[in-house]
Structure 1
Amino acid sequence: MSNLYCQIRLSSNQIKGVLYKNLRSFITIECHRPTILNKKGVDILHNPWFNKGTSFSLTERDRLDLRGLLPPNVQTEQQQIERFKTDLEKIEMNYMDGPSDTVTLAKWRILNRLHDRNETMYYKILTKQIKEFAPIVYTPTVGLVCQKYSGLFRRPRGMYFSAADRGEMMAMVYNWPADQVDMIVVTDGSRIMGLGDLGVQGIGIAIGKLDLYVAAAGINPQRVLPIMIDVGTNNETLLTDPLYLGLQENRLEGDEYISIIDELMEALFNRWPHVIVQFEDFQHKWASMLLERYRNTYRMFNDDVQGTAGVAVAGLLGAVRAQEKMMIDFPKQNIVVAGAGSAGVGVLKAARRTMARILGNNKHAFQSARHQFWVVDVNGLITEDRESIDDDVKPFAKKVSDIRCWRLREGASLREVVQEVKPDVLLGLSAVGGLFSKEILEAFRGSTSTRPTIFALSNPTTNAECTPEEAFSIVGKNIIYASGSLFKDVDLGNGEIGYCNQGNNMYLFPGIGLGTLLSGSRIISDGMLQAAAECLAEYMSEDEVVKGIIFPPLSSIRDITKKVAVAVISEAIKEDLAEGYREMNSRDLKRLNKEEILLHVENNMWKPDYPTLIYKND
């Protein structure tokens, strides 16, 4: 058993079941099997999936023809981690007085080089120190990486499909070496983190997201695939940049654009029928339309629309808890939303569904919920008097009869709306840094809530609608504050702390993906997304919420992801969408209680441990 270690765990209910049912379907087996390779020597050292660097044992070095190709000292994994930390410390010392962007970009380069040569160690470090390194591989550093990606590019990661590949995508997907892919993140680079159109350089966001799927959700890194769909760019700088790596032509529009996305989706699901595809950073005019086009046909979701919405709803429910009120009070909250793009619309729809569910989930409840939202875009308050309103926003446009008593009108400014409505929540998804000016925050001081809530959720930090220092100093120390990217907590004096919550999609999308994968659900339903949001809202203790802490620390992300995945699986079973995963078929999955579902989740999460490698000549 030296190369095959198995743990068999049985619950009491499962033990009863195996007395008269198929034993295998009730047993959760956790195995560390050896990995069989048909390569030796330098081919292994140059393969990041199998390379262990200086950690290869002497036995493995002999077995795999590695003796003499590595320094003689066999190091432990912890020694390798310490060497890596030393490299990072040198970077910090060398750039101590330099710009912060220079330091973070240098750290990203070191992490990227490790990723290129030793994936297991890369993910071990990322998993163990997720709080420290998530801001480097993801928000906010990934935005800087995408902006400079053409210059940073050294070796390909993921796949690139372009407008020049029309008619070839069905064949192209077979160029990817993995026969099994569980998770794909795809972007067209048109709206990267509020930074705008970055074209093919947007592949960086897909890579960063999948790193978090591996670290937080335990998706096997050999089963993830970042994809860039390059349909051109309207970024004038990139169109004339000789170093730019993408198509230097204007973006396709209309039916031409849709036909390319259609072809890609058909090709992906033809080769990998059970894959989950996450759409990322598509501009608003395409994000919602493509979501509606594919969501009932393919296992897919849009993180900007649905993930952001879920995190925001979880935060809004947490803010109600912080007021020491019951969830039944959520539909009474007045919410001003700054931003009517794909993220803003997603939050509006999700929050409205949550309110309606609390009110009874009937037609009257759904209509009643719309009255609690005040949507402001670049042209001011959106009402039914506006000449042209996006179809997704139209249900939230204020009726003229509803706003007369508020002394408001079509196009009223954000400050005027805040001043008149005195909302409980000021929610920013505008991608406009500093939008919540001193005047607007001063107006928000008039909020009738006992715990006024400010969500400045636009990424990266430069796009945040206001900083926590501005919010606490102007509105008051009793507020609830959350941002999309990480800010430091604020010292309020006298030993008091103004907590800066990070309302990041990272809390939800890994669990949504993992739960969907393990449930085998045919689609990702609104109910599954709702269950994920409510699970996150309930994660914090009452004591933490009363202090103003409504989101957990990133260091807890793997535990959060497990619980979110359980909620998603449970809802998929409830909605009769679950079809099972691998040896766990839908019938057996439905027999598990929540404790057993959690065990099922834990035992299907990949762990970054070096496998035993065995050579076998085919």
Structure 2
Amino acid sequence: MASTLKQMKEGESVVDHSSAVGGGVDDVYGEDRASEDQLITPWTVSVASGYTLLRDPHHNKGLAFTQRERDSHYLRGLLPPAVATQELQEKKLMQNIRSYEVPLHRYVAMMELEERNERLFYKLLIDNVEELLPVVYTPTVGEACQKYGSIFKRPQGLYISLKEKGKILEVLRNWPERNIQVIVVTDGERILGLGDLGCQGMGIPVGKLALYTALGGVRPSACLPITIDVGTNNQKLLDDEFYIGLRQKRATGKEYYDLLEEFMSAVKQNYGEKVLVQFEDFANHNAFELLAKYRTSHLVFNDDIQGTASVVLAGLVASLKLLGGSLADHTFLFLGAGEAGTGIAELIALEISTKTYIPIDEARKKIWLVDSKGLIVSSRKETLQHFKKPWAHEHEPLSTLLDAVKAIKPSVLIGTSGVGQTFTQDVVEAMAAFNERPLIMALSNPTSQAECTAEQAYTWTQGRAIFSSGSPFDPYEYKGNLFIPGQANNAYIFPGLGFGLVISGAIRVHDEMLLAASEALANQVTQEHYDKGMIYPPLTNIRKISAHIAANVAAKAYDLGLATRLPRPADLVKYAESCMYTPNYRSYR
């Protein structure tokens, strides 16, 4: 108590953890640090007082400071007399955000809130997830990245450019937080379906990590967004006076990979073996190589290859209740053979192989891919990139998607092309001609790049399609029946997957963990959801869903001997829920 009195005399503020929400694990390890190794004495976490406290987004509560707190922490006169609850603040801010008609204005308002009052930002996002997810994530985050130079106000993560070569460890140590558990990193070369946005791709790591906290429960202070700037080949950006990145063409080859090697080594040196590095929106030619290179030595995960695959597989497993049969009974046709397409295809093949015990090479024969040159077939093998070669099956060459649909007769059509309106009426009607219930997944982001809309899929199949997309579509009524489109959103998977890795102390990501995440998500779809044609549960339940995914992933980490947090908790779902960050205000004393 003496140390507490000393702090109070020196004008510091002390957080009272007796009011903390989140369960017994919080009480042992300190504020929201349930998934950390370091023990922290729970009653001595200190923050600044007075005017500085109001400018600290981690601890500022605005008008929610009580009269007693205002007296204790030198706030009297710095705030208007009214005292508001967090719920009243939330109501006011949601009214303000809804008043903006332009989505980008809503995005800016949310980012400004995060910089002003972190807990209120996450309270809004958690309580209004279906409404605000499209604001802080796809599709609005795509426009935000395109205009990032114009709307940039203050840095929200670390920028590591070629200028920092040889000094990356030093740069990491400039970040104020020491106990980092999750890093999302991009080089900005392939942002969503929008292409090379260079340094302005920072909006993606920032958005992803907001979801790690809101949807997965990882503490905000344990998250670090990073952009690696090696230049851009986007001439429009290079000519833009407001562009915030290096004004040069992209570095490639040895220069590029040397910088990434230094980065990955510095991350492990600074944050240890158990920090999760999520690669995000790297171009195909680098994404596969980086994942293959570092997955055996670091805790790494590529959301475009693995996260997309896991969420799509979950939808496919769930859809079997509507389609009938097992995965092995269906034929899959992809439009798009990049990171997402081949990543999904490989995970489907792995799941079929695991369930039927047939060799994975045999399982792959149920899956066909179409790229920009047509159907991928064995006669093209010599000219194919390495990640496409496993999908080069025996068949005559076909140049169009429509020809491929008619020849292959798939029961599932999956779009990962990044090109909008490529599932034409002819293609969709062909799918409906030989499938009672065709499954159509138009996954490209943002909404403008979707291969077809929900309305088109339902209309062209006379309401028989099971439809899912990457970005959200509104429910659609067809001949008196209301259809609710599924959203194969990576946000279902990566926050829970990452949280499961963190709470188990995993040191590597294994493909079996991705299958475990998919199965956990598919198990959350109920009969009530199926009755509405849904193959994904509503995002309103996402924290509960993430806890189940985290528990399944953690269980697999323990089973594989890759978990370091021992002993294994008896009830992993309850343990995951108890470890989750909660944004409710703390009381100060």
TM-score by length of 2: 0.92
> Does residue 599 in structure 1 map to residue 585 in structure 2?
no
Letter in 1 for 2:364: R
The CA deviation string for residues 451-497 of structure 1, in whole angstroms up to 9 with x for no partner, is 21000000000000001111111123121100000001210123x12
The CA deviation string for residues 555-597 of structure 1, in whole angstroms up to 9 with x for no partner, is 11111100100110111111111111xxxx2xx21xx44xx11
Aligned to 1:419: 406
Could you say what secondary structure the match of 1:42 adopts?
Answer: helix
> Does residue 85 in structure 1 map to residue 94 in structure 2?
yes
How big is the shift at 1:65?
A: 1.2
Question: Which residue, 397, 407, 413 being the options, matches 1:410?
Answer: 397
**CA–CA distance in 1 between the matches of 2:20 and 2:108?**
38
**Structure 1 segment 368-379 matched on structure 2, within 5 A:** 368-379=362-373
- Aligned pair count reads 559
Could you say what secondary structure the match of 1:354 adopts?
Answer: helix
**CA–CA distance in 1 between the matches of 2:17 and 2:427?**
64
How big is the shift at 1:85?
A: 2.4
- Seen in structure 2, the aligned counterparts of structure 1 residues 5 and 88 have a Cα distance that, compared at 3 Å, is closer
Matched-pair contact (CA < 8 Å) for 1:159–1:227: yes
Aligned to 1:97: none
Give the unaligned 5+ runs of structure 1.
11-24, 26-30, 93-102, 404-408
**Structure 1 segment 159-238 matched on structure 2, within 5 A:** 159-238=158-237
Aligned to 1:107: 106
Aligned to 1:297: 297
Question: Which residue, 514, 521, 529 being the options, matches 2:499?
Answer: 514
Aligned to 1:608: 583
Could you say what secondary structure the match of 1:385 adopts?
Answer: helix
**Structure 1 segment 348-367 matched on structure 2, within 5 A:** 348-360=345-357, 364-367=358-361
Could you say what secondary structure the match of 1:217 adopts?
Answer: coil
How big is the shift at 1:218?
A: 1.2
Matched-pair contact (CA < 8 Å) for 2:190–2:283: yes
Could you say what secondary structure the match of 1:4 adopts?
Answer: helix
Q: Which moved more, 1:207-216 or 1:535-544?
A: 535-544
Question: Which residue, 519, 528, 538 being the options, matches 1:553?
Answer: 538
Letter in 2 for 1:413: T
Matched-pair contact (CA < 8 Å) for 1:33–1:611: no
Matched-pair contact (CA < 8 Å) for 2:16–2:43: no
How big is the shift at 1:442?
A: 2.2
Matched-pair contact (CA < 8 Å) for 1:432–1:464: yes
**CA–CA distance in 1 between the matches of 2:517 and 2:469?**
20
TM-score by length of 1: 0.88
How big is the shift at 1:545?
A: 2.5
**CA–CA distance in 2 between the matches of 1:367 and 1:55?**
60
Aligned to 1:18: none
How big is the shift at 1:319?
A: 2.0
- Seen in structure 2, the aligned counterparts of structure 1 residues 75 and 6 have a Cα distance that, compared at 3 Å, is closer
Letter in 2 for 1:242: E
Could you say what secondary structure the match of 2:359 adopts?
Answer: helix
**Structure 1 segment 313-324 matched on structure 2, within 5 A:** 313-324=313-324
> Does residue 381 in structure 1 map to residue 383 in structure 2?
no
Question: Which residue, 85, 105, 123 being the options, matches 1:76?
Answer: 85
**CA–CA distance in 2 between the matches of 1:463 and 1:562?**
31
The CA deviation string for residues 526-576 of structure 1, in whole angstroms up to 9 with x for no partner, is 111110011111211235335421001111111110010011011111111
How big is the shift at 1:317?
A: 1.4
Letter in 1 for 2:387: D
Could you say what secondary structure the match of 1:527 adopts?
Answer: helix
The CA deviation string for residues 172-209 of structure 1, in whole angstroms up to 9 with x for no partner, is 11100111111111000000011000000000011000
**Structure 1 segment 24-35 matched on structure 2, within 5 A:** 33=42
Q: Which moved more, 1:225-234 or 1:269-278?
A: 269-278
Aligned to 2:12: none
**CA–CA distance in 2 between the matches of 1:122 and 1:543?**
32
Matched-pair contact (CA < 8 Å) for 2:398–2:404: no
How big is the shift at 1:32?
A: 12
Aligned to 1:256: 255
The share of aligned pairs that are identical, in percent, is 39
Q: Which moved more, 1:170-179 or 1:58-67?
A: 58-67
**CA–CA distance in 1 between the matches of 2:376 and 2:438?**
23
Aligned to 1:62: 71
Aligned to 1:98: none
> Does residue 146 in structure 1 map to residue 145 in structure 2?
yes
Matched-pair contact (CA < 8 Å) for 2:442–2:468: yes
Matched-pair contact (CA < 8 Å) for 1:187–1:206: yes
Matched-pair contact (CA < 8 Å) for 1:536–1:560: yes
Aligned to 2:472: 486
Aligned to 1:505: 490
Question: Which residue, 339, 344, 348 being the options, matches 1:342?
Answer: 339
Could you say what secondary structure the match of 1:75 adopts?
Answer: coil
The CA deviation string for residues 385-407 of structure 1, in whole angstroms up to 9 with x for no partner, is 114111111111112xxx3xxxx
How big is the shift at 1:3?
A: 4.9
Give the unaligned 5+ runs of structure 2.
1-14, 25-33, 35-39
- Seen in structure 2, the aligned counterparts of structure 1 residues 300 and 83 have a Cα distance that, compared at 3 Å, is same
- Seen in structure 2, the aligned counterparts of structure 1 residues 34 and 67 have a Cα distance that, compared at 3 Å, is farther
How big is the shift at 1:35?
A: 6.2
**CA–CA distance in 2 between the matches of 1:36 and 1:537?**
40
- Seen in structure 2, the aligned counterparts of structure 1 residues 365 and 43 have a Cα distance that, compared at 3 Å, is same
- Seen in structure 2, the aligned counterparts of structure 1 residues 482 and 171 have a Cα distance that, compared at 3 Å, is same
> Does residue 464 in structure 1 map to residue 473 in structure 2?
no
Could you say what secondary structure the match of 1:603 adopts?
Answer: helix
How big is the shift at 1:37?
A: 2.5
How big is the shift at 1:54?
A: 0.9
Could you say what secondary structure the match of 1:175 adopts?
Answer: coil
Letter in 2 for 1:187: T
Question: Which residue, 556, 564, 580 being the options, matches 1:571?
Answer: 556
Letter in 2 for 1:356: S
